[in-house]
Amino acid sequence: MANRRASITDLAKTLGLSPSTISRALSDHDDVSEATKARVRQLAEELHYQPNQLAAALRRGRSNTLGVLVPHITGHFFPQVVHGIATEAAKLGFNVMICQSNEDSRQEQKNIDLLMNSQVEGILVSLANTTHSFGHFEAVRQQNIPLVFFDRVVEDFSGSNVSAVMIDDYQGAYQVVTHLIEQGCTRIAHFTGPLHLNIHKNRHQGYRDALQAHGLPIDDELIMFCEMSQKGGTAAMRQLLKLPQRPDAVFSSNDLAAIGAIQAVKSARLRVPKDIAVVGFSNEMFTMLTEPMLSSVDQRCEQMGKTAVQLLQKMLKSGPNRQGPPKPIVLKPKLLVRESSQKR
């Protein structure tokens, strides 16, 4: 009962060797003859020997573990990113330790400490939206633990072992609006959330710039600051429909509000996309399920996770002594044109 698992010294004793030799044999070191290696390997097999990672990590100072800190593991985006992270990390031989900040800055801080105590080799973070000071990342930087921010990054926090990966929201929005213009739309409305959030700010800017670049006017009454929910979208759309000259397209800063807009359009006996084209942002799962199917912008969530891990790995391999911090990576979003915006 309660069978303690075989340790390296157990192997040593039963084979009449020293622990060092066992260790070297198992790691295929040159200083051990093939004969003994074979014996060791066979016994290890028989006893189902598995090295104690804790001990190894302690000795080597490397734990083979990455820490991940996200606001939460719900919704669409974060699970996808985490999936990308976990997959890539597994491929590179890392374990993954996961924490949630619950959008709370203090929990974020605690979790950062926790991860550092666990001797993780690198940390991947997406900030809680209540985080405004970054003292807790100072310790990470000081100890030269590679740190990668993803999606929700802190802009003015750099260091030789700090980097970031995010998506080009501006570019995504620009593509959307350009696409709508190509479909013949000229009065394109925009739903946006509060502009102090990066994502909305950048998408909003992309919207404006795309309009200008194509010589279209920017009409402030077409820009709706609304709650980015289904209801919010419906309400905003209703308001737009009351305008003397109604819009012929809507670019919503997220998919949920876009769905709301579609429903409002439909219940006003108008057609999507014929009368009003609609495009969302994020490529949520349900965009494929609506009628019409919603055009959206894919955020490459999984790719983001994968890239973040690769970036971390690069820092890990090159060490902190390189020329300048690694450049942040900006992923190109991908416009997915579906029924809701295809006038043809």
Contact (Cβ atoms closer than 8 angstroms) between residue 263 and residue 238 = no
DSSP state letters, 69-121:
EES-S-TTHHHHHHHHHHHHHHHTT-EEEEEE-TT-HHHHHHHHHHHHHTT-S
Enumerate long-range contacts of 208-216, CB under 8 Å, 24 or more apart. Answer: 209/170, 209/174, 210/173, 210/174, 210/176, 210/177, 210/178, 210/181, 211/177, 211/181, 213/178, 214/178, 214/181, 216/181, 216/186, 216/188
Q: What is the closest distance, in whole angstroms, from the C-beta atom of residue 204 to DNA in the complex?
A: 48
Number of residues that bind its own copies (CB under 8 A): 57
String marking each residue 6-45 x if it binds DNA according to CB under 7 A: -xxx------xxxxxx-xx-xx---xxxxxx---------
String marking each residue 239-258 x if it binds its own copies according to CB under 8 A: -----------------x--
How many CB atoms within 10 Å of residue 220? 6
Rg (CA), the chain: 26
Q: How far apart are CA 10 and CA 235, in angstroms?
A: 71
Q: Considering only 34-42, 108-116, 187-195, 198-206, which stretch makes contact with its own copies by CB under 8 A?
A: 108-116
Number of residues that bind DNA (CB under 7 A): 30
Residue 24 binding result from DNA, its own copies, none, given CB thresholds of 5 to 8 Å by partner type: DNA
Q: Which two tokens stand for residue 200?
A: 């909305």
Among residues 23, 63, 163, 341, which is the contact residue for its own copies, using CB under 8 A? 63
Please identify which residue in the block is written with the tokens 């309660």.
2
How many CB atoms within 10 Å of residue 104? 16
**DSSP 8-state symbol, 186:** -
Among residues 21, 23, 65, 183, which is the contact residue for its own copies, using CB under 8 A? 65
Residue 96 binding result from its own copies, DNA, none, given CB thresholds of 5 to 8 Å by partner type: its own copies
Among residues 27, 142, 245, 323, which is the contact residue for its own copies, using CB under 8 A? 142
229 contacts its own copies (rule: CB under 8 A) = no
Q: Considering only 35-43, 58-66, 242-250, 273-281, which stretch makes contact with its own copies by CB under 8 A?
A: 58-66
Contact (Cβ atoms closer than 8 angstroms) between residue 130 and residue 154 = no
Q: Which two tokens stand for residue 214?
A: 């194509």
Q: What is the closest distance, in whole angstroms, from the C-beta atom of residue 67 to DNA in the complex?
A: 18
Site for DNA in 43-82 (CB under 7 A): 49-52, 55-56, 58-61
Residue closest to 143 by CA, chosen among 116, 166, 167: 116
Of 171 and 253, which has the nearer Cβ to its own copies? 253
String marking each residue 312-341 x if it binds its own copies according to CB under 8 A: --------x---------------------
Binding site for DNA (CB under 7 A): 4, 7-9, 16-21, 23-24, 26-27, 31-36, 49-52, 55-56, 58-61
